[in-house]
Amino acid sequence: MLKKAGRKSRGRRSLLWPALAIPGIVWLALLFILPMYVVLAIVFGQQDPIFRNAIPVWNPLQWNSAQFQYVFSNIFGANAIYGPAILRTIVFVLIASCLCLIVAYPVAYFTARLAGRWKGVLLIMLIAPFWISYMMRMLAWVNLLQNDGLINKGLSLGGLFNVQVDWLDGMPLTVILGLVYGYVPYMILPLFAGLDRIPQSSLEAARDLGAGRFSAFVRVTWRLSQPAVIASVLITCLPMLGDYYTNDMLSAQPSTSMVGNLINNTVLTPGQTGQAGAFVVLVLAAALLPMLWYVRSTRDEGARS
Amino acid sequence: MPDQTVDNPDESRAHRFVRPPLSRRSFLQRSAVAGLGAASLVAFLDACASSNINGATPSGSPGLQIATPTNPVLWPISADNPVIAAGQKPEQGGVLQLYNYADYIDPNAVKSFEKKYAAYNVKVQISTFNDTDEAMTKIRAGSVPYDMYWPSYDQISRLVNGKLVRPLQQSYIPNIKNVWPSFENPWYDQQWRYTVPYTVYTTGIGWRSDQVKQDIGGLSNPYASLWDPQYRGKTAVIDDWHTAMMLPLLKAGGTDMNVTDPAQIQEIGTQLTAMQAATKPRVTITMYNDISTGQLGLSQFWSGDMVNAVSYLPSGQSPKVLNYWFPPDGKGSVDNDLMVILAKGKCPVLAHLFIDHMLDTTTALGNFSYIGYQPPQNSINPSQLVSDGYLPANLASCTVLPEYFDVGFRLLEMSPSVTALWQQQWQKFKAGG
């Protein structure tokens, strides 16, 4: 009797845990897998010949890869009209991510380890930018950076020098700094979480065993914070890859177009919706590789510890 | 409009600020042109024109008849979509549903219409869309029975073929007499069976005289100034492939803005690349704002947007700084917008009466001062617009003359395969390649 009851409760428990995953699975199915299928049905779908709107084809057996091939050949083929924008995106995102890390790591480090009783206040201040819409923050920069804006006025020290930097006239630097400004909060938070978890005792042990401040940082803090660094770089990189409004607002010039702009341009054009879908699929594939690598590396990490 | 701005800039700005960041003109133009010719996969499109799987049948025959000034079209009236009877009373208690761009109609024009037919307890409701693609999708879906819609003439073929518009009972619209005679039998809709004109506009060059020392309008080739390296970082072109891509054609003295020769289209792309190298233009549709704040010095411009730019100037700034050039002989790009009655609307009589109301001279002028785009009214002439305060003297060139439509160039629909070639050059330009 007792034995039976025990088995029964274990059975109930083993059903309970998978059941807890149901909301997540439903969420994923409704908001990721299903939309992804719609995107694919449009990429490989048809068009209304009069109104040119996309007609999704739901049966994969009837899919037509013409739009996908068109985009693919224009990225990698001899007629690579999208090539420069793709390359530019990679360079912009790499530079912006490095700058983000350079800014975010010391801030997160200070907040996690040195801020003491100010930690809570600092954290709130770091989260504060989230309360204002990204669009509003970029619009504020447009005002600051315009030719007679505060930045140029500041640089000229109140008219002492004649500074006329055309910040908003298609400067790659402006776009990159815009990306850094926009996404740096997303990097600070995971870094903070990672750094905050590092036990003080490990550092004390390193110092006791003769490591200097720098050596202790490199061998203990930096090593232990690496998963957080990778996670935070990924969290900022991925939205940057699809970003188009930073560029639209701070430059609006083709000379700084990124992949996000290509998607935005095509998705708004009737007859090219399928191409926009093809870009989305390609960006997803490009983003998936580092993501898989991250999942793998953290799993190894877990297995080791 | 300028008198409002000068006398009471704050009030004028307040109502301007509720507008979306993109002007409805820009939206209209961009999406209308894009909507018609945005195919980029010739083979693919041809394929779907012949085979329509999945039960998604197009509303009409796949072959679109394209109207051009040299090939005017008389659209058929089908038995299942007839002209309504003449002499009917307005729908009692009717709600007239307008489907338009945001702020593309003067609220006072709507109010005076409601007042005029107060005995029938008439209400007008305005719904807005962001681009004509969205609008066409919703009109086709028919979930809201909109009575009226504001397209451009390059959509008319799809609207008629899809039986989305109702043929007009012209006896309700005596005010057509106020409209330029050329619009009583336009090439895109012979005998004005389905459309009446709403606004007219030109596409030229706008500049700020404090940033641009040359008198652009006085140059031998004003279009070439957009390739002049001394204006690097100060210029812009309109973010619409057909509108911007006609610039190389205009610069070269071309008269056909719808070229089909692949070599010529390739040359347009080469010229755009040269422009990119010389001046790094912005590609935008907010020039009316950017030129007023001084971010732009020289730009391709729609005449109506230049009129709007006056009300975006910082307070105290004289509108004299703004200039607009369009070839005085009219040999430049001219276009017009339309009003149509939708087939699924519930108040066809009211819709006809509303069209007549909008063609009334007083209503049309009030509407002009609100939206900045000129109605093709006989009563309008350049000296009157300036003396009545609709335009500052230095922007008299924003006035659109009827003669322009005899000699001006049109942006027409093109075949999918030609469009694909144009679009490929545009995509290359926009990708910064």
A287 part of a folded domain: no
A118 part of a folded domain: yes
- The minimum CA-CA distance between A65 and chain B, rounded to whole Å, is 9
Give me the number of domains chain A comprises: 1
Burial class (CB in 10 A: 0-12, 13-18, 19+), A23: exposed
Asked if A265 lies within 8 A of B430 by C-beta distance, the reply is: yes
A216 part of a folded domain: yes
Asked if B161 lies within 8 A of A50 by C-beta distance, the reply is: yes
User: Quick one: which of B80, B64, B84 has its CA closest to B341?
Assistant: B84
Query: Does A301 lie at the interface with B, CB-CB under 8 angstroms?
Result: no
Burial class (CB in 10 A: 0-12, 13-18, 19+), B242: buried
- The minimum CA-CA distance between A269 and chain B, rounded to whole Å, is 6
Q: What pLDDT sits at residue B60?
A: 36
Summarize pLDDT for B309-361 with one digit per residue, the tens: 998 898 888 899 999 999 999 999 999 999 999 999 999 999 999 999 999 99
User: Quick one: which of A244, A127, A146, A223 has its CA closest to B293?
Assistant: A146
Residue type, A296: R
Sequence-distant (6+) residues with CB within 8 A of B427 are A74, A81, A82, A262, A265, A266, B40
- Which residues are registered as beta bridge partners of B148? B98, B341
Please tell me whether residue B97 adopts helix, strand or coil conformation: strand
Summarize pLDDT for B58-104 with one digit per residue, the tens: 333 346 788 888 889 999 999 999 999 999 999 999 999 999 987 78
- Provide the CATH number for the domain around residue A230: 1.10.3720.10
Reported pTM: 0.78
Q: Which fold has domain B23-50+68-200+336-378?
A: D-Maltodextrin-Binding Protein; domain 2 (3.40.190)
| The 3-state secondary structure of B53-96, one letter per residue | CCCCCCCCCCCCCCCECCECCCCCCCCCCCCCCCCCCCCCCCEE
A75 part of a folded domain: no
A113 part of a folded domain: yes
> Cβ distance B179 to B130 under 8 Å?
no
- pLDDT average, residue stretch B263-278: 95
Residue of A nearest to B419 (CA): A271
Domain B202-333+410-430: CATH architecture, name and number where available: 3-Layer(aba) Sandwich (3.40)
- pLDDT average, residue stretch B285-304: 90
Q: What pLDDT sits at residue B382?
A: 62
Burial class (CB in 10 A: 0-12, 13-18, 19+), A178: buried
Boundaries of domain holding A223: 87-257
Burial class (CB in 10 A: 0-12, 13-18, 19+), B186: buried
- pLDDT average, residue stretch B245-255: 95
Asked if A62 lies within 8 A of B53 by C-beta distance, the reply is: yes
Select from A269, A273, A275, A279 the residue whose CB has the most chain B CBs within 10 Å, as the one to mutate to test that interface: A269
Checking ipTM against 0.85, whether it exceeds it is no
A244 part of a folded domain: yes
- pLDDT average, residue stretch B209-213: 92
Same fold, B23-50+68-200+336-378 and B202-333+410-430: yes
Summarize pLDDT for A95-145 with one digit per residue, the tens: 999 999 999 999 999 999 888 888 889 888 888 877 888 888 888 898 898
A76 part of a folded domain: no
CA atoms within 13 A on the CB side of B29: 30
Contact residues on chain A for B430, CB-CB shorter than 8 A: 254, 257, 261-262, 265
A203 part of a folded domain: yes
Query: Does A152 lie at the interface with B, CB-CB under 8 angstroms?
Result: no
Least confident segment among A37-46, B252-261, B274-283, B416-425: B416-425
Contact residues on chain B for A278, CB-CB shorter than 8 A: none
Least confident segment among A87-96, B13-22, B296-305: B13-22
- The phi and psi torsions of B189 (rounded to 5 degrees) equal -160, 80
DSSP-derived pairing of the beta strands B235-238 and B282-284: parallel
Sequence-distant (6+) residues with CB within 8 A of B329 are B407
